[in-house]
Amino acid sequence: MLRARFLLLSLCCLGCGQAKISEVAPPASSSATASTKNDDVKLTIVSYDGVIEHIAANRGKVVVMDAWSTSCPPCMKEFHNLVDLHRQYKPEQLACISLSFDYEGLGKPEEVQDRVLDFLQSQRATLDNLLSNEESDVLYRKFKLAAVPAVFVYDREGKLRQRFDNEQTKTKAEAFTYEQVQQLVTELLAEGDGPSATAKEAK
């Protein structure tokens, strides 16, 4: 009887949308974390206004901001695409920002900082990485967003041209892809008299 109850409880937990990655799988060992440490990967804790300031500070460039969380497996699976995009273009053409929604209002945002930074280190994300100091529910409301992942693309004037999200999708096949993000970036880089969209030479 006790075994049956345990199995039932385990099945219920698997369907919990609020489960954290750290609860599903054990964190990497300290030695593994040290081996992937990259001092060029930084994480800054900011408010919502600070996020907006980061976007505005890149006026003159196309800006791609990826909203994600370590509690979102699809976010983590696709995150490498943002890193690839960052490496593909010159810094005066494109600014890539990652915005973590990991802080949920329990304790302090610094308490989730290491978890977020460990993942960013593993991705070698040497871009502009931000962690909100406002709880995720508040951040969702301010961005009028239902869930992550979501990718915001801004033109050189700082205007939001498109937000890619999966709020209206009903099947996995309908989910947005980074190929769509890439296409929009290419179009925006080709607009106006700004720098050409010449990609960096492959290393």
Closest CA to 142 of 151, 134, 130, 150: 134
Instruction: Note the CATH number of domain 41-166+173-190.
Output: 3.40.30.10
Residue 77 DSSP SS3: helix
Q: Report the pLDDT value the prediction gives residue 54, as an integer from 0 to 100.
A: 97
Q: Report the pLDDT value the prediction gives residue 192, as an integer from 0 to 100.
A: 59
Taking CB atoms within 8 Å and a gap of at least 24, the contacts of 170-177 are 175/74, 176/151
**How far is it, in rounded angstroms, from Cα 34 to Cα 15?**
33
- Going from N- to C-terminal start, the domains of the chain cover 41-166+173-190
Q: Report the pLDDT value the prediction gives residue 140, as an integer from 0 to 100.
A: 97
Q: Report the pLDDT value the prediction gives residue 17, as an integer from 0 to 100.
A: 31
Contact yes or no for 100/72 (Cβ under 8 A): no
Q: What is the pTM of this model?
A: 0.77
* Beta-strand relationship, 44-46 and 128-132: parallel
* Beta-strand relationship, 150-154 and 160-165: antiparallel
Per-residue pLDDT of the chain (203 residues; tens, 9 = 90+): 434 433 333 333 333 333 333 333 333 333 233 335 678 999 999 999 999 999 999 999 999 999 999 999 999 999 999 999 999 999 999 999 999 999 999 999 999 999 999 999 999 999 999 999 999 999 999 999 999 999 999 999 999 999 999 998 888 889 999 999 999 999 999 995 444 444 443 33
Closest CA to 132 of 140, 122, 144, 124: 140
